[in-house]
Amino acid sequence: MSGPILPGATIGVLGSGQLGRMFAMAATRMGYRVHTLSPDEDTPTGQVAELEITASFDDLDAVRAFARNVDVVTFEFENVPAAAADMAGEHAPVRPSGHILHTTQQRAREKGFLADGGFPVTPFAHLRTARDLADAVVQVGMPAVLKTASFGYDGKGQQKVGSREEAAIVWAEMGGQEAVLERFIDFDRELSMIGARGATGWMVTYGLVENTHRDHILDTSVYPAAVPARVERTATEIVRRLLERLDVIGVLCVEFFLTRDGALLINELAPRPHNSGHLTIDACVTSQFEQQVRAVCGLPPGAADLLRPAAMANLLGDLWNHREPDWAAACLVPGVKLHLYGKSEPRRGRKMGHLTALAHHAPEALRVVTAARDAL
């Protein structure tokens, strides 16, 4: 391994959303320069980065020029095509490496990888052709969730189905593209855990975060989660094994369902900082974004210690409703921090920002953060 990439160097980020923005903020604070490439203009990441390149990920000449001008490439968007990651890799280290994208950007492949590795995963079946459906329904049971294999995020490309007939109709509506049918889990709670692994092999894990979703989109996160120590230990073990198995250099988030009988099932993986980890910016000694900077640059890890219990509430475009939310009202609430991503169009279901509240106890933080959001 070559030596660390030190402050003053330039980090390239493929993708330009809010994850790249918060990464760029952590990186620039530490003295790095950031370039970003994506098909869009005036992006959340581009507004913070030194250089914003607008090009398709399929424009390999643009990707080459981008990679030549940086010291290391990372990504904030999982659906970067393999060809772009490979091209970048010819000119700079890509961290985490493209093979991780390959595994995690297709649900069937990701779940297959988890099942093969002996990880606890929601029962699922891979749907390729119409003939697969009958067996899948028997194998998985009903109700189930039908999800497109590729390009799903924030609940897009998935629907709960109650019967084989309904599954057939929904799948046809999805255009019959490759999909997975997953058992619907009547979970007790949803949890997630963030871990990081450095270029030099160190690993750091945060604690379990408790999440609630609305319309399949993350709504609130609370940290620390109120779970038995046994659940916390099992999750930590899983995250560490996955960081090693996938050879991650960067950040990995594992989303879990906690079943009513106390078992953990992996819902999905994200090989990057995660929405449920945004509260680490305000609540922890080292945020998930700074941890990614340290990991991909070959620096030592930062302490993941919790400074104060925290809760996060997402701000979706729905909140606008023909008028700008009352930001001052949220800022008035003690212990509440406002994060906005610089997006100009508040579309329905679009993540525009989030609020974090710090308090003496996690439930209190959740109460405060939802009250602050209501005040908007």
Ligand X SMILES: Nc1ncnc2c1ncn2[C@@H]1O[C@H](COP(=O)(O)OP(=O)(O)O)[C@@H](O)[C@H]1O
Task: Give which of 222, 216, 221, 211 is closest to 349, Cα–Cα.
Answer: 216
Cis peptide before 143 (omega within 30 of 0): yes
- Inter-residue contact 17 to 341 (CB < 8 Å): yes
Query: Least CB distance from residue 322 to ligand X, whole Å?
Result: 27
Of 234, 296, 225, 339, nearest to 74 by C-alpha is 296
User: How far is it, in rounded angstroms, from Cα 156 to Cα 146?
Assistant: 11
DSSP 306: B
* From 29, 153, 237, 331, residue interacting with ligand X (rule: CB under 6 A): 153
Interface region with ligand X, contact rule CB under 6 A, candidates 38-46, 80-88, 180-188, 292-300: 180-188
Least distance from ligand X to the Cβ atom of residue 308, Å: 26
| Least distance to Mg ion, CB of residue 104, Å | 11
Query: Which helix (H) or strand (E) is 304 found in, with range?
Result: none
Pick between residue 10 and residue 275 the one whose CB is nearest to ligand X: 275
Query: Which residue in this structure is represented by tokens 């019959």?
Result: 176
The candidate with the shortest Cα–Cα distance to 154, out of 13, 37, 317, is 317
Q: What are phi and psi of 133, to 5 degrees?
A: -65, -45
Stretch that binds ligand X, among 37-45, 150-158, 227-235, 368-376 (CB under 6 A): 150-158
State the binding partner of 216 from Mg ion, ligand X, none, CB within 5 to 8 A by kind: ligand X
For the chain, state the CA radius of gyration. Answer: 20
Measured from the CB atom, is 72 or 352 closer to ligand X? 352
Question: Which range of residues in 133-141, 250-258, 302-310, 327-335 is near Mg ion by CB under 5 A?
Answer: 250-258
Pick the stretch among 41-49, 145-153, 298-306, 315-323 that binds ligand X (CB under 6 A): 145-153
Contact between 15 and 23 (Cβ < 8 Å): no
Q: Which amino acid is located at 330 in the chain?
A: A
- Among the listed ranges 68-76, 164-172, 184-192, 222-230, the one in contact with ligand X (CB under 6 A) is 184-192
The minimum distance between CB 22 and Mg ion, in angstroms, equals: 18
- 76 touches ligand X (CB under 6 A): no
- Binding characters for ligand X, 271-310, by CB under 6 A (x = yes): ----------------------------------------
Cβ(198)–Cβ(294) below 8 Å = yes
Longest CA–CA span in the chain (Å) reads 58
Token digits of residue 27: 């990186």
154: partner contacted, choices ligand X, Mg ion, none (Cβ within 5-8 A by kind): ligand X
Q: What's the first-to-final CA gap in the chain, in angstroms?
A: 49
Q: Among residues 71, 190, 210, 282, which is the contact residue for ligand X, using CB under 6 A?
A: 190
Backbone angles phi, psi at 262, to 5 degrees: 85, 10
From residue 246 to residue 275, what is the string marking binding to ligand X with x (rule CB under 6 A)? ---------x-----------xx-------
Which residues within the stretch 214-243 sit at the binding site for ligand X (CB under 6 A)? 216
Q: Which does 182 bind (CB under 5 to 8 A by kind): ligand X, Mg ion, none?
A: ligand X
Number of residues engaging ligand X in binding (CB under 6 A): 16
Give the HSE-up count for residue 44: Cα atoms under 13 Å, Cβ half-sphere: 23
> What is the contact surface with ligand X in residues (CB under 6 A)?
122, 145, 152-155, 182-185, 190, 213, 216, 255, 267-268
> What is the contact surface with Mg ion in residues (CB under 5 A)?
255, 268
